[in-house]
Amino acid sequence: MAELVLEELSALGAIFCGPGEWEVLSCSDGTVFRILTRAEGFMDADIPLRLVFHLPVNYPSCLPGIVVNSEHLTRAECEIVKEKLLEQAETLLSEPMVHELVLWIQQNLRHILKRPEAGGGSEKCTSAASTTVDDGLWMTLLHLDHMRAKTKYVKSVEKWASDLRLTGRLMFMGKVILILLQGDRNNIKEYLILQKTCKVDVDSSGKKCKEKMISVLFETKVQTEHKRFLAFEVKEYSSLDELQKEFETAGLKKLFSEFVLRLVK
């Protein structure tokens, strides 16, 4: 990692030193970290922002990856904020820019939200109210085509789940590889970013590579009949019946029938 980037990360850790304000999520294939901050939004209300930055190995000569999440903004508004941040980042290339970007959004969020592309005030409030389904516990089932560097891959998955406070299972049954995640929906989204942007496996020549063959089979809010997993565990199953029993015990019989069975047929 370049000395310039190390200095920037150190400075960011010192600036965002409040509880939960700063967290490094991954240091493979660049650096991925999360910053929690607040900005003045529409009607002078403080809006909490969850900003995830991915600094590629060539940063700051190239743009960082940015993901914006907020329970107070619609998905469309989050995308607009992300686009504006990337536009601003283009003016800061070749120099460390993350702190500048955070300061910029703190000062400009209210102006961005007032623009026509972000929707009017009443529309925004209605849309924001409709996103309350993001609250609470969510569940996602993922399918991986293969793992070549299994030991390293498993350790990465375990670390990401731990860092993002996700529970569930990494399941192996023959050639079938499934990841079942439970937790905050935004944290699951951040997990998927890590899964797709970090070089977690190797290709056929042994070169490190990103995961390109992952698919989201199912996503839903956890229902009363679903088991709440207390930890994230890696499990091997010797038979389809054993795997099916795991799903049925978790209250996921229908999920198994609709999405898992077809993977082994």
pLDDT of residue 42: 65
Give the CATH number of the domain where residue 213 resides: 3.30.70.100
Instruction: Clarify whether residues 20 and 81 are in a common domain.
Output: yes
Instruction: Clarify whether residues 13 and 94 are in a common domain.
Output: yes
Instruction: Clarify whether residues 107 and 143 are in a common domain.
Output: no
Instruction: Clarify whether residues 151 and 51 are in a common domain.
Output: no
Structural domains in the chain (count): 2
Instruction: Clarify whether residues 169 and 229 are in a common domain.
Output: yes
Q: Is residue 121 part of a domain?
A: no
Nearest alpha-carbon partner for 57 in 14, 5, 19, 106 = 5
Instruction: Clarify whether residues 33 and 69 are in a common domain.
Output: yes
d(CA 35, CA 146): 32
Q: Is residue 253 part of a domain?
A: yes
Helix axes 185-197, 150-163, angle to 10 degrees: 150
H or E element at residue 103 = helix 98-114
Instruction: Clarify whether residues 108 and 161 are in a common domain.
Output: no
pLDDT of residue 37: 93
pLDDT of residue 123: 37
d(CA 71, CA 75): 9
CB atoms within 10 A of CB 3: 7
* Residues β-bridged to residue 235: 171
Amino acid code (one letter) for 6: L
Give the CATH number of the domain where residue 70 resides: 3.10.110.10
Flag residues of the chain having pLDDT under 70.
Answer: 1, 42-44, 115-136, 265
Domain containing residue 229: 138-262
DSSP-derived secondary structure letter, 260: I
Distances (CA, A) of 66 to 146, 151, 195: 28, 29, 15
Instruction: Clarify whether residues 78 and 13 are in a common domain.
Output: yes
Instruction: Clarify whether residues 192 and 244 are in a common domain.
Output: yes
pLDDT of residue 206: 81
- Residue ending a domain, among 79, 113, 147, is 113
